[in-house]
Amino acid sequence: MGLVRGMAYLRKEDETVEMDYSLSRVWMTIQKVLTALKWNLEMVDDANHKIRAKTTAGPMSFGSILLIEAVQVNENTTRVSVASETPVTTITAIFDFAQGKRRIANFLAELAKQLTS
């Protein structure tokens, strides 16, 4: 009897929101949020307002890579795009269902909370 292995693939999720805050305030707060969530910064591009962060893995899930970008819409509005890439296998996909969406939601909720405090 042979060993059965799950096929690995990336599960991608993304969300974009507009916030009524300046780009500089949102950008500064994004980095505080990642620290508060204890996610690792892998790359910070201050010039283009892009971040690559890695979330921690759980007992039944892999960590996700989050790609975050902030873009100025106007003086008081900033568009934040968050994409999540989570490696899963056909076996772990059962336990890891919508983990990327939850991580994006957690990030955006914490961002909104810190911006209003």
Range of the domain at 84: 10-116
Of 58-62, 81-85, 91-95, 101-105, the poorest mean pLDDT is in 91-95
User: What is the C-alpha to C-alpha distance for residues 8 and 100, in angstroms, rounded to an integer?
Assistant: 16
State the DSSP H helix or E strand holding residue 112, giving kind and residue range, or none if neither.
helix 99-116
pLDDT of the residue at 100: 79
CATH for 66 = 3.30.530.20
In a domain, 1, yes or no: no
The pTM of this model reads: 0.82
Q: What is the pLDDT of residues 59-74, one digit of tens each?
A: 666 678 899 999 999 9
The count of structural domains within the chain is 1
Nearest to 53 by CA among 77, 37, 73: 37
23 SS3 class: helix
Angle at 103 between CA 10 and CA 51, to 5 degrees: 80
